[in-house]
Amino acid sequence: MKNILNAPFVEEMKKITANMYRQGWDERNGGNISYMLDEKEVGEYLDLNNVIREIPTGFDASALIGKIFIVTGTGKYFKNIEFDPENNLGIIRIAKDGTTAELLWGYSDGGKFTSELPAHLMSHIARLEVNPENRVIIHSHPVYTLAMNHVIELDEKIFTHTLWEMCTECIIVFPDGIGVLPWMVCGNNEIGIATAEKMKNFRLVNWGIHGIYGAGKDIDEAFGLIETVEKAAQLYMIATASGKRINTITDRNLWEVVEAFGLEDVVRKDFLDL
């Protein structure tokens, strides 16, 4: 059996959480990640018949029975994961009853997965129905994206279009736009249900005055989506700080980009005024 601490998926989690903490996106124990793993790969590092303990998930995830995830822990700081992954991360499998997580590794201090796990599982279910390759959900609190929430209407078209205007790559990276939710209490199933509903149409969901959810086929894609939004939000906040904007990317310009990159079938045309 290989050493789990050397597993590529553990290394990925260590690197991405450290990077997100250094960027200031995940203060204290803010933010969480869930990453669906390949059972065969996990079997090279863990005895899949050895269940350490069972933990109620608080949600019926029957659609994910048997699926294995590596998930950040509740109350855990991203900055500590790279130094003590076994305490701050856990690998779980959704049990046959659909409402229990079987702990296969991690949470060594007796802890458990993030309180946002139901929201993550709901989003995984929604995204897998759209794209079976989507395996990662990242929730984070990017600074400029959050600041932008305070100065712009929380409307999907307005929010998306504003970001598309800020730099050319935005409409290329997220042509499907950004779903937007109003402010809601976090850590409960209500916000999870609302997020999953948005995830049926968007890979990115902005939680009003809280943070953002991103989904992707791997950590790079999910992180890259959020990273691009944050860069555009930063540009917006800097550019508007002077009180005026002289230049912008027009809707006609945006459509030229869409045509150049063959995005006609995926772009949210209703977010453009042509």
Q: Which one of the listed residues 116, 156, 221, 227 is annotated catalytic?
A: 116
Claim to verify: residue 177 and residue 104 sit in the same structural domain: no
Task: Report pTM.
Answer: 0.96
pLDDT score at 187: 82
Residue 125: which domain range?
A: 116-274
Output the CA angle 185-188-194, nearest 5 degrees. 80
DSSP-based three-state secondary structure for 210: coil
Claim to verify: residue 252 and residue 160 sit in the same structural domain: yes
Q: In what order do the strands lie in the sheet with 204-207?
A: 53-56, 100-106, 89-94, 68-72, 32-37, 136-140, 211-216, 204-207, 179-181
Claim to verify: residue 91 and residue 135 sit in the same structural domain: no
Mean pLDDT score of the chain = 96
pLDDT in tens, 243-262: 878 899 999 999 999 999 99
Last residue of a domain, one of 82, 115, 148: 115
Last residue of a domain, one of 99, 115, 131: 115
Quick check: is 227 catalytic? Answer: no
Claim to verify: residue 160 and residue 234 sit in the same structural domain: yes
Claim to verify: residue 120 and residue 78 sit in the same structural domain: no
CATH number at residue 162: 3.40.225.10
Claim to verify: residue 147 and residue 245 sit in the same structural domain: yes
Beta-bridge mates of residue 215: 137
Claim to verify: residue 94 and residue 157 sit in the same structural domain: no
pLDDT in tens, 14-69: 999 999 999 999 999 999 999 999 999 999 999 999 999 999 998 999 999 999 99
Last residue of a domain, one of 87, 115, 143: 115
Claim to verify: residue 55 and residue 182 sit in the same structural domain: no
Report the b/e string of 225-260 with b at 16+ CB within 10 A.
bbbbbbbbbbbbbeeeeeeeeeeebeeeebbebbee
Claim to verify: residue 107 and residue 38 sit in the same structural domain: yes
